[in-house]
Amino acid sequence: MTASTPRVAIVGTGVIGAMAAWQLAGRGARVLAFDAYGRGHDRGASAGESRIFRTVYKEGASYVPLLLEARELWRTLEAESGRALLTLCGGLTIGAPDEPDLKAVRHCAEEAGLPHEILDREQTAARFPQHRLDEGEIALHDPGAGVLRPEPSVQSALEAAERHGARILSYRPVDDLTETAHGWRIASGEETWDVDHVVLTPGPWAARLAPLAGLPVRAKRITACWFAAREVAAHQPDRLPIAIRRHPEAGFSCFPVLDGVAVKIVPHHLGWPDIEGPDDLPRGADPAFARAASAAVGRLLPGLVPDPVRIGTYAEGFTPDGHPVVGPLPGAARATVLTGFSGHGFKLAPVFGRIAADLVLTGGTGHDLSGLSPHRFAHR
Ligand SMILES: Cc1cc2nc3c(=O)[nH]c(=O)nc-3n(C[C@H](O)[C@H](O)[C@H](O)COP(=O)(O)OP(=O)(O)OC[C@H]3O[C@@H](n4cnc5c(N)ncnc54)[C@H](O)[C@@H]3O)c2cc1C
């Protein structure tokens, strides 16, 4: 082994670990990537048919450079894999003009100089009749938004990593990580591997991975519901943008039909309950939740049959401030952590994969990550 070809273990091949594997292997690292489950599995945060991509970002204009770089990398991965992963169908944020998310996206669009349009209720009804707005509500249209396909994205990044020599070890839960004089020893069952550096990307399992036990990343359950479209053509990506619908009684994210049948809704206003851990994720539908989601759809999306045809539950890791934890692990050498993406990490995954490679291979990155540093929680 030479200094220019470090051996790097990645723990977790959800979208963040998969992108880190792609970027690290592409830059010459010898990558071993472990996952307790298989590629694109549905127990963690990186499955469920669709994810929103947005550039006008309510989480803050500081993310815009990352989002623009991520968009380029999504196109690179599409070219390398030959798969369509990102469809730029545009995006809507809908709600009352003084609603915090509406104010935040307007502020971001103006601060970052991003193209956008403000549509009043009548203009929205004319262009996007799939949505019903209340009196006084508006929509901000972001032409740079779109929809991502999670499972083929993970698969594509891992295959690209393999083409650069990475070994992807599915169904290999990492049971133990020990710091050694020169790096780390990884244990899974009876087997061990010695590596120079570890990249910890366990998503909502963070609290169960010993070196990360001090980080305040809580596992939560997010439930998605699919509702059949009465007229499928009107709800496909060429006519229905992704949407974030803010509403005091019925907020949700909304995704166009990708399966030929149904629009996906992720209700927001009911909250996302804590779970013990993703291995114990309840998979069943809570009837009260399904009724509330149906009521929201019946009220705000008149073109859908308001009973879900499918319900899926997923796990995600959340931090107290809603921003991910990205950077060198405090108190350990040669360990980089990327976790706690708090419901908005998918779209950014390729750029965080590149940042992981920067941190491992050069010890730094050109991005200002001070707001995401693990050190912000070090006092807890
Ligand atoms: C329902 C839902 C909707 C979302 N919507 C959006 C959206 O529209 N747009 C957006 O940008 N983001 C969205 N997000 C957030 C985004 O999907 C996540 O931030 C992102 O997928 C996090 O990926 P991850 O790799 O950190 O976690 P995961 O995908 O959960 O991957 C972690 C992996 O680590 C593995 N692992 C953990 N511990 C070990 C161990 N000890 N040994 C081996 N393997 C281990 C797990 O098996 C898992 O595969 C959404 C999330 C959910 C759940």
d(CA 325, CA 337): 7
> Which residue has the least CA distance to atom 19 on ligand 1?
345
How does pLDDT run across 155-191, given as a tens digit for each residue?
999 999 999 999 999 999 999 999 999 999 999 999 9
Q: Are residues 245 and 141 in the same domain?
A: yes
Asked if the model's pLDDT at residue 47 lies above 90, the reply is: yes
How does pLDDT run across 199-223, given as a tens digit for each residue?
999 999 999 999 999 999 999 999 9
Residue 34 near residue 168, CB atoms below 8 Å: no
Beta strands across the sheet bearing 146-148: 51-53, 146-148, 86-87
On whether residue 2 sits in a domain, the answer given is no
pLDDT-derived band at 379, boundaries 50, 70, 90: low
User: Which residue range(s) make up the domain with 331?
Assistant: 7-47+150-214+321-377
Q: Are residues 168 and 280 in the same domain?
A: no
On whether residue 84 sits in a domain, the answer given is no
> How confident is the model at residue 250, as a pLDDT?
84
On whether residue 75 sits in a domain, the answer given is no
What does pLDDT average to over the chain? Answer: 95
Q: How many domains are contained in the chain?
A: 2
Q: Tell me, what CATH number does 314's domain have?
A: 3.30.9.10
> How confident is the model at residue 4, as a pLDDT?
65
9: Cα within 13 Å, side-chain hemisphere: 28
How does pLDDT run across 254-301, given as a tens digit for each residue?
999 999 999 999 998 888 999 998 998 888 878 899 999 999 999 999
Q: Is the minimum distance from the CB of 217 to ligand 1 under 6 angstroms?
A: no
- Name the strand (E) or helix (H) holding 109: helix 100-112
Q: Are residues 267 and 314 in the same domain?
A: yes
How does pLDDT run across 129-148, given as a tens digit for each residue?
999 999 999 999 999 999 99
> How confident is the model at residue 54, as a pLDDT?
95
Q: Among 11, 168, 171, 346, which is best to mutate for testing ligand 1, by the most ligand atoms less than 8 A from CB?
A: 346
Backbone angles phi, psi at 288, to 5 degrees: -65, -40
* Domain stops at, among 318, 335, 356: 318
Q: Is the minimum distance from the CB of 119 to ligand 1 under 6 angstroms?
A: no
Q: Tell me, what CATH number does 188's domain have?
A: 3.50.50.60
> How confident is the model at residue 2, as a pLDDT?
47
How does pLDDT run across 219-235, given as a tens digit for each residue?
999 999 999 999 999 99
How does pLDDT run across 108-117, given as a tens digit for each residue?
999 999 999 9
